[in-house]
């Protein structure tokens, strides 16, 4: 009985589009975080700077996950997911603009914020 549900779910185009877009968004976000940490390590050669960047990525994720669970219980989770995804796409586009147009000075702030937004939208 359960197998039929899974097969029906995999045949649902809306679900597959949602799953595919979420997977690509998470992959892009994780690559961005890894690349930023490695960029800082390469630029500075300092393990302290590298670990600081990783801390700035992980700590907002931990803090925002519990808040996201609270909001998901009392608000429309689909709207939260949509807004969180749009905010993450906007932050990643901002990162691209800063990286290509301006010297990459604010990368740590942008990645920290994108990690927080990703966890808020990913808690659903």
**pLDDT per 10-residue tile (average), the chain, 124 residues:** 76 85 81 83 82 84 78 78 80 75 58 60 56
Helical ranges in 45-74 per DSSP H: 47-74
Q: How many CB atoms lie within 10 A of CB 90?
A: 12
Locate 65 and state its tokens. Answer: 């996950």
- Per-residue pLDDT, 96: 75
Q: How many CB atoms lie within 10 A of CB 108?
A: 18
- Per-residue pLDDT, 19: 84
For 67, 82, 124, the CA distances from 70, given in Å and listed in that order, are 5, 17, 11
- Per-residue pLDDT, 47: 83
Backbone φ/ψ region at 104: left (φ over 0), alpha (ψ -120 to 50), beta: beta
For 45, 80, 81, 103, the CA distances from 85, given in Å and listed in that order, are 33, 8, 6, 26
pTM over 0.75: no
The one-character DSSP state at 123 is T
């Amino acid at each position: 009985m359960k197998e039929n549900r899974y097969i029906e779910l995999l045949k649902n185009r809306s679900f597959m589009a949602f799953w595919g877009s979420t997977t690509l968004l998470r992959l892009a976000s994780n690559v961005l975080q890894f690349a930023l940490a490695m960029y800082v390590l390469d630029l500075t050669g300092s393990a302290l700077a590298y670990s600081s960047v990783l801390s700035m990525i992980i700590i907002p994720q931990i803090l925002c996950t519990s808040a996201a669970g609270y909001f998901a219980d009392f608000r429309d989770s689909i709207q939260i997911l949509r807004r969180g995804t749009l905010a993450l796409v906007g932050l990643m586009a901002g990162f691209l603009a800063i990286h290509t147009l301006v010297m990459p000075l604010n990368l740590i702030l942008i990645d920290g914020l994108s990690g927080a937004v990703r966890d808020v939208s990913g808690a659903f």
